Amino acid sequence: MNYLKKQIKKGINLHLINTKKFKTNLLSVFITNPLTKENITKEALISAVLRRGTLNEPSQEEISIKLENMYGASFDCGIEKMGDYHILKFYLETINDEFLPKKEDILKQSINEILDIVLNPLIENDEFKNEYVDSEKENLKQIINGKIDNKSRYAFDRCIEEMYEDKPYGLYKYGYIEDLQNITAKDLYNYFKKMLSECKIDIFVSGDININEVEEIVKNNVQIQKLEDREFNIQNEVNETSRNEAKIVSESMQVTQGKLVLGYDVRTKNKEEKYIVLLYNTILGSGANSKLFQNVREKASLAYTAASNYIRQKDNIFIRAGIEIENYEKTLKIIKEQVEDMKNGKFDERDIEDAKRSLISTIKFIPDEQDTEISYYFGQEFTGQLVSFEEYIEKIQNISKDQIIDIANRISLNTIYFLKD
């Protein structure tokens, strides 16, 4: 395995992926905090404000000049929900030192640069720069208001919101406008300092690297040295949404195509069973050979799209279909039939082998993209279960039809959400 994890401080880990596949180094910093309504909007705003300037480079223009001088390095950032946690994500990609005309130690510059952006923001009078905060509040407001623009994504988010009403996973990752307007530059900086003292921090470095050198660079970074140990344990509540009868939610909006989302609860008993659910989901609704695609889209011609995805951290499967609004009842009936067929074992060994090949192909592809490989190992870190690609493939290969049927009979419909005109 080309992956190694080192503890820098308690709650702060360095993850090293040593690979010769790429001409670039990719650096990532993930800051993890529990999802709460009180703080989610602040965290979304912080991720945007941090990219605006540091104490050493107090504007985006100066950061851009610095990156350009590092042979066109690129920086990006974003936020994500993972289980009951909010993740602030920062990426910096640069050319590997081996491909430079002369040795300039770009890797060291890159590590210090991304840590400077994330941990050493521009501060004026013990607060974030007001101009940056006000500007990013407007940008974030547009993002929140614009969530209805992508109707498919909006319907998916609304189904989760209805399933997880008043629970952390039901929160919108970019936060809420009613909370945004009350945040000041001072409040935001005070909360940022609290995050740096309490949050889980993971630093990833991928590329053709000297592991010991990278570890020394990170340990000696002045911003890292300022950080203290912290206690942080990942815990996800699962099966907290189960209900005896499915919740049905219908919402009207100006749409030309209906968006149907069905949320299912999966009752796995342990982490090993999650691999079975992955295979189950692949047979049910992942790809052109799946039961949903073949029966809802191809044979019945009821949907423009019909697929399912498995949210591993929350043990939920979501089936999504874009349909003509008048086809709601027909589509719902056929979708439910596919789920029942899985419970009754109405799939054959060819379906299983096709699904296994598809999953194994996806797993083998992971190391071919640096960001995908980082995401994989961060997911492993998140679950507390480090599984190599070879072990992952073996787990998939060893799944039997009886195991899939057993899982199928522990899946129940929780929520039906339909967006119509």
For residue range 364-417, what is the model confidence (pLDDT) as tens digits? Answer: 999 999 999 999 999 999 888 899 999 999 999 999 999 999 999 999 999 999
Q: Is residue 233 part of a domain?
A: no
Indicate the pTM of the whole model. Answer: 0.95
* pLDDT at residue 242 is higher than 80: no
Segment 321-331, tens digit of pLDDT: 999 999 999 99
Asked whether residue 178 is assigned to any structural domain, the reply reads yes
pLDDT score recorded for residue 419? 97
> Quick one: pLDDT at residue 243?
81
In this structure, the answer to whether residues 91 and 204 fall within a common structural domain is yes
Cα(196)–Cα(190) distance, integer angstroms: 10
CB 114 within 8 A of CB 90: yes
User: 401 and 268 share a domain?
Assistant: yes
Question: What is the predicted pLDDT for the residue at 97?
Answer: 87
Q: Which of 195, 226, 257 is the last residue of a domain?
A: 226
**Secondary structure (3-state) at 87:** strand
* Digit-coded pLDDT (tens) for 58-89: 999 999 999 999 999 999 999 999 999 999 99
**Is 139:169 a contact under the CB 8 Å cutoff?**
no
Query: Using 50, 70 and 90 to split pLDDT, how confident is the model at 305?
Result: confident
Lowest mean pLDDT among 102-111, 165-174, 205-214: 102-111
What would the two tokens of residue 321 be? Answer: 């279909």
Q: Has residue 241 been placed in a domain? A: no
Which amino acid makes up residue 49?
V
pLDDT at 263 over 90: yes
- Mean pLDDT computed over 324-344: 96
Distance in angstroms between the alpha carbons of the first and the last residue of the chain: 52
Q: Does 339 fall in a domain? A: yes
The arithmetic mean of pLDDT across residues 108-117, rounded, is 98
Average pLDDT estimate for 253-276: 94
Domain count, the chain: 2
The whole-chain average pLDDT of the chain stands at: 95
11 φ/ψ sector (left φ>0, alpha ψ -120 to 50, else beta): left
Question: Once rounded to an integer, what is the mean pLDDT over residues 34-47?
Answer: 98
Q: Does 147 share its domain with 252?
A: no
Same domain (yes/no): 270, 176: no
> Cβ distance 278 to 268 under 8 Å?
no
**Residue 85, CA distances (Å) to 66, 88, 167, 356 in order:** 32, 10, 12, 30
pLDDT at 266 over 80: yes
Last residue within a domain, chosen from 192, 226, 260: 226
Q: Collect contacts of 57-61 with beta carbons under 8 A, ≥24 apart.
A: 57/116, 58/122, 58/129
Least confident among 211-225, 228-242, 289-303 = 228-242
Determine the structural domain holding residue 11 and report its residue range. 3-226
What are the tens digits of pLDDT across the range 154-191? 999 999 999 999 999 999 999 999 999 899 999 999 99
Instruction: For residues 182-209, give the mean pLDDT.
Output: 97
CATH number where 212 lies: 3.30.830.10
pLDDT at 304: 85
What's the average model confidence in pLDDT over 30-49? Answer: 98
